[in-house]
C-alpha cells in the first residue's frame, strides 16, 4: 500500500467539485452558505471601551507619571461588568471598570471616592 501526498489527495478530491460563482446576498439569506472572501472590519467596536479590567482616566493627566513621581487620582466610581454607564471624568478623577465597559461623555463624577496612585 502506498500513501498519497497531501497534494495528490487534494487533487483527487477536487476533481469531483466544480467552482461556483459568488453572489451578493442580504445577511438574512446567508444561513448555510460560506464566504467567497474574507470580511474585514475597521474600527470595531464603534465606541470607546475597555477590553480588560482597569481604570478610566484622562490620559493627558498621566503624561508626567513615573515610578519616581506617581500621580494620585481619586477613584470616584466602580463600574461593574454588565452595566453601561455614560462617564465624563472630571480632572484628577478616575473610575474602576470591569471588562468591556463603554465610556462616552455624559455623566460627571464629583469628589467622593478613594484615591489610586498611577
For 36-80, what is each residue's pLDDT tens digit? 888 887 766 665 555 667 787 888 888 888 889 998 888 888 877
φ, ψ of residue 109 to 5 degrees: the values are -115, 140
Looking at per-residue pLDDT, the higher value among 86 and 59 belongs to 59
C-alpha distances out from residue 41 to 19, 22, 114, Å: 27, 20, 39
Strands 114-117 and 72-79, sheet pairing: antiparallel
Between CA 74 and CA 91 the distance in angstroms is: 9
Q: Give the pLDDT of residue 49.
A: 56
Amino acid at each position: 500500500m502506498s500513501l498519497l501526498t497531501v497534494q495528490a489527495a487534494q487533487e483527487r478530491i477536487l476533481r469531483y467539485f466544480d467552482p461556483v460563482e459568488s453572489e451578493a446576498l442580504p445577511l438574512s439569506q446567508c444561513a448555510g452558505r460560506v464566504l467567497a472572501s474574507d470580511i474585514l472590519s475597521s474600527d470595531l467596536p464603534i465606541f470607546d471601551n475597555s477590553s480588560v479590567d482597569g481604570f478610566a482616566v484622562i490620559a493627558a493627566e498621566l503624561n508626567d507619571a513615573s515610578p519616581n513621581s506617581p500621580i494620585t487620582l481619586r477613584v470616584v466610581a466602580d463600574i461593574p461588568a454588565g452595566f453601561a454607564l455614560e462617564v465624563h471624568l472630571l480632572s484628577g478623577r478616575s473610575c474602576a471598570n470591569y471588562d468591556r465597559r463603554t465610556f462616552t461623555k455624559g455623566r460627571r463624577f464629583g469628589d467622593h471616592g478613594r484615591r489610586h496612585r498611577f
